[in-house]
Chain A
Amino acid sequence: MSEHIRYTRNRREFLGDAFCGFGALAYGALEAQAATNPLAPKLPHHAAKAKSVIFLFMAGGPSHMETFDPKPLLNQLHGQKRPAEFGEAKYQFVTSEAKLLGTKRSFKKYGKSGIEVSDLLPHTAECVDDLAIVRSCHGDMVVHSAAQYQLMTGRIIPGFPSMGSWTVYGLGTESNSLPAYCVLPDPHGALEAGQPMYLNGFLPAVYQPTTMRPGNKPVLNLGLPQGVQIEERTKTIKYLKAMNQAAFAGEDNELEARITAYDLAFKMQMEAPEVFDISKEDEKTKEMYGIGKEPTDDYGRRCLLARRLVEKGVRFVCVTSGGGPGNLQWDAHDDIEENHLRMAKQTDQPVAALLKDLKRCGLLDQTLVLWGGEFGRSPESQGNKGRDHHNLGFSMWMAGGGIKGGTIVGATDAIGLKAIEKPYHFRDIHTTVLNQMGLNQHALSYMHLGRKERLTEIEGMVIKEIV
């Protein structure tokens, strides 16, 4: 029995204005589906602006000073110690002796909004009128694993459900042939926080993510075992169903649900591979994503796949850039130039292509795109070319899904050390994501160990400047 708390009194009322075809479905039909399929679509708490989320997760922590937050003073102070008036910061590696590091990037104004973006991201810059850049993000942790947990689950320890799991718990999915929540990790390897950051925590396993990997078998167990023919398997499933139905008489939701699960699995097996197969996209589209050429091929493919997934009603997709040893992430301890130029070249064009493509398909309005990492980077240098982790002020952006494009919110101080104007914590990012999906942070809760747990441990704010 789900303990999902909703404002039931208003449930029917929401039908009228609820988004995305919910209104067309009869209330009774929703209820009936939910009895045997826990992932059947559910009504949001309030009218939704977005029906899907794509999180472009820049793992390792991209620098705000090299991307969306120009700091001329930093270049002037290059090589000096941080002036005392900026206050203190704790880092994982650098000490109080470290010197400030100016940036080699140059910034230019783009679009009608005239927002400044660095030359690291020329493609993304072209879409700046669709972006709402939050320059005043902050989190609590300065080490990868704990910061990644906080970004994904709202807690600095593992074991709590991720944004994706919460979203699916709240809304179900609109696709019955695809997983509701997909994670597309970087093929270079895993991240410090590992699997638990993407997971369902204490929520039932039905809300767990499906990981899609590169290669011919993106989803484990979706393909038939070697040597088994599809005709053969179709027959097996048909008889399995008949034997299961022969075993019980009358209504039994649980056994009914198990039969439905096999039907869904079969549907998924038959229909999903076609969605995963991007070869049928036209050449122009593939070219736009940078597919078929390095270094954009991999991230381009995954971004295109993300579009295909949300198009089919998948609720939450996480496309991770960075994996394996730190320097294969945005974790530029040794050399910010070398690392960020490389990571940006892999992702910039695909990210911009995704935004343009979503727009072209009319999907951007209903798809919330979120970009960012678990923290930013230090204004001080590590070694003489690198930057350490930094959680007190950094940038993330959102686009689509009812977000006001061409907006800048908040500011860090003159050297990019601390978020000083309208600081927004990860919990505010979470609250905003939920809000756009029609979910309320308090109503979306689950009883666990005596607490009504939710994504935001401490109440978050909707970033009202951008919605």
Chain B
Amino acid sequence: MRTLLALTICLELVASTVAPLGKYTAVERRHWAFQPRSNPILPKFESPADKRFVRNPIDAFVLARLHKAEVAPSAPASKEVLVRRVYFDLTGLPPTPQQVQAYVNDKRPDAWSRLIHQLLDSPHYGERWGQHWLDVVRFAETDGFEYDTHRTEAYRYRDYVIRAFQNDKPYDRFLTEQLAGDEIAPQEQESVIAAGFNRLGPLRKNAGNQEVASSRNEVLTEMTNAVGAALLGVTLGCARCHDHKFDPIRQSDYYRMQAYFASTLENDFPLTSREDRTTWEATIKPIDAKIKKMQGEMAKSDPVTQEAIGKQIAELESAKPPPPPTLYSVKNDMAKASPMHLLARGDYAAKGDSVGMRPMGIMLPEGTAEDKDLQQPRARLAGWVTSKENPLTARVMVNRIWQYHFGQGLVVTANDFGRMGGRPSHPELLDFLANEFVESGYSVKHIHKLILSSSTWMQASDTKNVKAATDDPENKLLWKFSRRRLSAEELRDSMLMVSGNLNLKQGGPSVIVPIEKELLSALYNPTQWKVTPDNNEHKRRSIYLMVKRNLHLPMMEVFDAPDGLVSCARRESSTHAPQALELLNGTFSNEQAEALAAKLAKSSGGKPEKMVDQAYQLVAGRLPSIKERLVAIEFARTATPHEFALAMLNLSAFIYVN
């Protein structure tokens, strides 16, 4: 198998190397992802059962594929299951028992569609779907590396993303603003904030001798790679050191794409006057000098003195006034543009031929010339990325949307549509959705509505189908809905919500929550962790928590939240003992259990039967089964309210979405 695979790759490589330099072979040109979108013909069905299943074109494409495999789709899930599923799907929060009841009792024929619209309009929709985008663009609010300096203004980009999804900003506009907001609308704060996208990567700084050229090269690498992985779904980054080993991306393509960023420099656009800045700098300077001196003393003293000095430094740090507000973004400076060359092995010192701006050659006619003398180079790049003819952009985004609804994309490798990536399981469906996306004016919400009103999405997850389970254990054919574990953020937010603690405030500077002293010692500079003073802030949704590259909250870490260092195309979903320890023994879960226990005691009047029913309705969105109720009542009778509540927050029925 392995040998066969290797052989195939070798043959294809041979095929691609016979082309003259810069040109593309027929094999390369034929790769599916680079083809224009097709206009797939909608499969037709005759039998009443099939007709019932096909509620919209999505179902037709899915059913056709299932028929071919001789696998039957699943029956629809119950209303109770669907309402919980769609709340998590669109808002990342569980429905309240009242919300479940409201839908279950809604007998109007368009009840489902009303619910979808209501949730798409809910302010929490943007928070949920904004998080997906933040994963893809490796959003974090510190530099990473040794200093891990805080980017105190980066939260504006997070809020921008949430707003963009909330308002269904056309996706082409969304990408254009992120790539080139400072060029196309320098007077609009929104666009300038969006262009902060180009500055999201980790940033290495060091003391002593500076390697200016090497550092600049690292910055440009981050900008370029993000475009490949996040926007185009191609592993452009692989061509930094040499021609791509598997995809038709030449090293020249890489540096030509990078050339669009040659004049892009980091810039903080001040929101206040110059005097404000000067005054602030003058206030800070003596404090910083003092801290530096104390740090020097600290290194030479004994542990007790060290702790004392550490405390003093922390006090000085927290007494510092915050810097005057700015917009964390970029701007062009043509005079300072970095000269662009091919770099052998990606080494900044090994300069090869000089190159200019041009998009990836495989998507252009042979011999397309480089762009010259552009005043708005990134706007030009954005124009190419978002052109209706670009075969990748729309496909990549609808595939991401699909993935976040179903747990896996039609192309399983959401950041890689190349030859090493997955082939689409339903190519016609992918093109149908991409066409819909473009024709709707790049409306993300339009795609949500299509998906959520399909029978495909509404299938039950607990279907017993031996043939299907044997032939397609990964459910690529979509013969059922795949049960999924809550993400780290959903889990934390839901625990806050069911315990009644959740603070639904939106937007603004990020919150720093208190953490164990032992965790702080994992920071090279522990004074950076300045806990937000207002306790109510600590109970906000996870998307508003500070994302620090060098310190991840244990709750986030054990449940596979991404590290913000590289683009995360799809969350892992691990199951391991430290998760159980976190949920059983962790401070956060025990605090929520305490609140939930009090809430249940109050509403049930301490009656075990009532408490069990109410608890299940809160955490699982349904009443317990007979079997569950028997066990749970026995437990509730003998357990402390705290332990009972804690167990409820550990139930699989809570942690999973059916």
Contacts and interface: CB of A to CB of B under 8 A. Distances in A.
Say if A and B assemble together. yes
A454 to B, nearest CB: 14
B282 interface: no
B47 interface: no
Interface string B566-587: 1111001111111111101111
A292 interface: no
A233 interface: yes
Contacts of B2: 5, 7-9
B627 interface: yes
A143 B146 contact: yes
A265 B577 contact: yes
B145 A265 contact: no
A362 interface: no
B647 interface: yes
B212 to A, nearest CB: 13
A184 interface: no
Nearest to B298: A325
A385 interface: no
Interface size class of B (residues with CB under 8 A): 35 or more
A450 B638 CA distance: 53
B580 A190 contact: no
Contact of B518 (A7, A213, A258): A213
Interface in A1-56: 1, 5, 7-9, 38-39
A255 B483 CA distance: 10
A247 B625 contact: yes
Contacts of B526: 189-190
B574 A194 contact: no
B299 A325 contact: yes
A7 B299 CA distance: 51
Contacts of A206: 574-576
A255 B148 contact: no
A265 B580 CA distance: 6
B647 A243 contact: yes
B415 A449 contact: yes
B336 to A, nearest CB: 24
B238 A264 contact: no
Residue among B565, B569, B586 having the largest count of chain A Cβ atoms under 10 Å: B565
A261 B577 contact: yes
A269 B577 CA distance: 10
B558 A158 contact: no
Contacts of A247: 625, 628, 651-653
B285 interface: no
A240 B650 contact: yes
Interface stretch (A100-108, A196-204, A309-317): A196-204
Contact of A255 (B299, B643, B656): B656
Contact of A224 (B577, B585, B631, B635): B585
Contacts of B638: 235
B204 A205 contact: no
Given A225-B587, A328-B299, A239 B647 contact: yes
Given A158-B565, A255-B652, A450-B421, A194 B148 contact: yes
A449 B235 contact: yes
A38 B204 contact: no
A232 B639 CA distance: 7
B433 to A, nearest CB: 22
Contacts of A420: none
B579 A261 contact: yes
A464 B485 CA distance: 46
Contacts of B483: 254
Given A196-B144, A450-B238, A92 B580 contact: no
A158 B581 contact: no
Contact of A204 (B145, B238, B574, B646): B574
Interface in A227-267: 228, 232-233, 235-237, 239-240, 242-244, 246-248, 250, 254-255, 257-259, 261-262, 264-266
Nearest to A250: B464
Nearest to B655: A258
Nearest to A388: B208
A90 interface: yes
A228 to B, nearest CB: 7
A280 to B, nearest CB: 24
A320 to B, nearest CB: 12
Given A92-B206, A225-B585, A268-B577, A194 B522 contact: yes
A1 B627 CA distance: 32
A220 B519 contact: yes
A194 B518 contact: no
Contacts of A225: 585, 587, 590
A210 interface: yes
A451 B522 CA distance: 30
Contacts of B574: 38, 204-206
A103 to B, nearest CB: 23
Contact of A91 (B209, B518, B642): B209
Residue among B235, B568, B575 having the largest count of chain A Cβ atoms under 10 Å: B575
B621 to A, nearest CB: 13
A39 B416 contact: no
A39 to B, nearest CB: 7
B204 A146 contact: yes
A35 B655 CA distance: 20
Contacts of B413: 447, 450
Contacts of A262: 577, 580, 584, 650
Contacts of B563: 158-159, 196, 199, 201
Given A157-B202, A205-B560, A265-B581, A236 B655 contact: no
A159 B566 contact: yes
Contacts of A279: none
Nearest to A265: B580
Contacts of A188: 303
Contacts of A220: 516, 518-519, 554
Contact of A242 (B577, B631, B639): B631
Given A194-B524, A201-B563, A265 B584 contact: yes
Interface in B504-531: 516, 518-519, 521-524, 526
Contact of B145 (A146, A233, A259): A146
Nearest to A212: B518
A254 B575 contact: yes
B161 to A, nearest CB: 21
Contacts of A288: none
Contacts of B551: 194-195
Given A195-B551, A205-B557, A221-B582, A189 B521 contact: yes
B289 interface: no
B634 interface: yes
A63 B415 CA distance: 43
Contacts of B628: 243, 246-247
A191 B238 contact: no
Nearest to B247: A450
Contact of A240 (B415, B516, B651): B651
B575 A243 contact: no
A93 B208 contact: yes
A449 B566 contact: yes
Contact of A246 (B415, B516, B631, B642): B631
A188 B300 CA distance: 12
A144 to B, nearest CB: 6
Contacts of B211: 90
Contacts of B642: 228
A244 B651 contact: yes
Contacts of A261: 575-577, 579-580
22 contacts: A38-B574, A92-B207, A158-B565, A185-B521, A185-B522, A196-B563, A202-B568, A205-B572, A208-B578, A221-B578, A235-B635, A236-B584, A236-B647, A239-B639, A243-B635, A247-B652, A254-B575, A262-B584, A265-B579, A268-B577, A324-B299, A449-B235
8 closest Cβ contacts across the A-B interface?
A: A159-B565, A450-B235, A194-B550, A265-B580, A450-B416, A325-B299, A239-B635, A204-B572
Given A92-B208, A201-B565, A243-B628, 11 more contacts: A5-B2, A158-B144, A194-B549, A203-B572, A221-B581, A232-B640, A244-B652, A248-B652, A266-B580, A325-B298, A325-B299
